[in-house]
Amino acid sequence: MRSPTPIVAFAVACISFPAIAQKPGGSLGNLPPQAQPNPPRAAPGPQTALPRDKPPPLGRQQAGPQPGGRPQVTPQQPGGRPPGPMAALPSDKPPPLGAAMPRPPSGATGPGGGRQPPRDVSSGTGFVVAPRQIMTNHHVAQGCTAMIARTAAGQDIAATVIAVDEQRDLALLRTDADAGPVLPFRSTAEVRRGENVVTYGFPLAGLLSSGPTLTTGDVSALAGLGDNSRQIQISAPVQQGNSGGPLLDLRGHVVGVIVSKLNAARIAERTGDIPQNVNFAVKHTEAVDFMREHGVQPQLEDPTAPLRSAAEIGEVAHASTLFLRCLR
């Protein structure tokens, strides 16, 4: 058989050339591989990251630019101070507290049109512990030139700070008008781990519901942060604005005053673990002693009263729990 002519051999080579060139990384003889275009890379999608900053305090908020076009919330603190640890009691001496006065009309100015009137800088919760007497946290009332309490009926009344205890983080306010019925305290000192409790207050005012919020949980430990014997640890969720609100048992008796929560973001930075529902309240025995030290007689109730549902406890607390605004 005769070998194929040069023309036939050339035709066979031309037919096989495209198939070899299309293989990834293929080559002809000593020629380098054909360059392949890089596939387009997909744009990264939104990523969810754990917060690294301390949750902002309540008060007036200002919207500012944020990467991605989302508004950024800038916290406003009394005196322009940056937020401190949430779970620690204030360590600096509180400034003198002036007498309370009604909130001035919006847009009003001081004498000569110079100084601006007091404005809301923070908020918290309080509850009636005696006729025209309100209890809250010291850090809620600290540095306020005036305080306004809003009753369950929606009435704004002026409140004057009459006593504070920095170590316990408690304060007593007096109102000229009736603030609501008195919430009784538990008459015994016993609080047990695992006991069901209810919180009632005004968390994240301006962001969440304008009305009060109820949460439920248990007593987790009989001491607070750093083994603080004046506090108990609870699992009931609380937020900024719950400070000063009542912690109640299922008989409707006050067993604590909400004071702080563990800063989950900071703990996560240090340990890599996110703590959940680690919150604290001042023990009711400390609140009762504080009242008696300042001449206010608490109302104590029999611990054998019938148990109620959380919804019923909320109805009891509603008329006695007040939304507090701090003015500077």
Tracing tokens 């512990």 back to the chain, one arrives at 129
Q: Measured over all CA atoms, what is the biggest interatomic distance in the chain, rounded to whole angstroms?
A: 126
| Whether 243 is catalytic | yes
**Cα within 13 Å of Cα(163), Cβ side:** 16
User: What's the burial of 104, exposed, middle or buried (CB within 10 Å: 0-12/13-18/19+)?
Assistant: middle
Q: Of 169, 249, 253, 320, which is the active-site residue?
A: 169
User: What's the burial of 24, exposed, middle or buried (CB within 10 Å: 0-12/13-18/19+)?
Assistant: exposed
50, 263, 325 from 125: Cα distances, Å: 28, 20, 9
Euclidean distance between CA atoms 280 and 137, whole angstroms: 12
| Whether 294 is catalytic | no
Q: Of 220, 243, 260, 320, which is the active-site residue?
A: 243
Q: Of 138, 139, 253, 284, which is the active-site residue?
A: 139
Q: Look up residue 176 and give its two tokens.
A: 């000229």
CB under 8 Å to 75, separation ≥6 — which residues? 56, 57, 59, 61, 83
| Whether 91 is catalytic | no
Number of residues written out for the chain:
328
By annotation, the residues acting in catalysis are 139, 169, 243
